[in-house]
Amino acid sequence: MAPTNGGPGLAADYARIERAARSAGPVEMDRQSNGLRQFFENLRGETRLHILDLGGVSQANVNFVTLRGHKLYTGDLLVGLDRVGVAPREPGKAAGPTARFIKENLNFPPAHFDGILVWDSLEFLDEEMLWAAVSSLQAILKPGGCLLSFFHTHAKGETVHIYRYQIRDHQTLHLQPRCSRPLPRAFNNRNLERLFGNFHAVKFFLAKDNLREVIVTR
């Protein structure tokens, strides 16, 4: 599938983000997001929806979603990943880190959510945990529901900045620096089509700031 590029109006945002990427560390900034716009367009006209935000609690996101009559659930996949990475296995328990991660972070009823905001969390999971998480996300997403996820286009092993994504409006995000981590693997369109192969549709938005936005529909 061919990436969809943003229009000329995004040039200033991309230039600012590129300057930040070259700086010694991440900085706060606003960023236009075609993926976010598509996410809310897919939900347009619906009310009382259940939406899951897996980037941690953000009051801006709570306000944006609930003021539109929807219900927002929150979780934090990165915190969950760090927790299972350091937590010792309980005596007498056979469950490994992947099973614990899914149970602690994606333990929701089947077909419960109309939309899921994953942000950039998936790309930091190991192979086993990644496939298990995608399978669980598909299970808890309603048929026709959509998921938004971000993937850096950097090479494997490169350090990337991780942000908390706060929704300004239906197509604008405020990026708040969170931490930096090396990428465990590199993703391209073909990798992502395979990863989300059991979903109904996958759509890409490739921005100039080395971030691939992915909208997945169940």
Angle between helices 97-105 and 77-86 (to 10 degrees): 140
Residues 31-55: tens digit of each pLDDT: 999 999 999 999 887 889 999 999 9
pLDDT at 15: 53
Beta-bridged to residue 181, according to DSSP, are: 160
Residues 82-117: tens digit of each pLDDT: 998 755 455 555 468 999 999 999 999 999 999 999
On whether the CB atoms of residues 80 and 105 are closer than 8 A, the answer is yes
| Helix, strand or coil, per DSSP, at residue 212 | strand
Beta-bridged to residue 200, according to DSSP, are: none
Q: In this structure, what token pair is assigned to residue 44?
A: 């347009």
Specify the pTM. Answer: 0.84
Domains and CATH numbers, the chain: 46-158+184-217 (3.40.50.150)
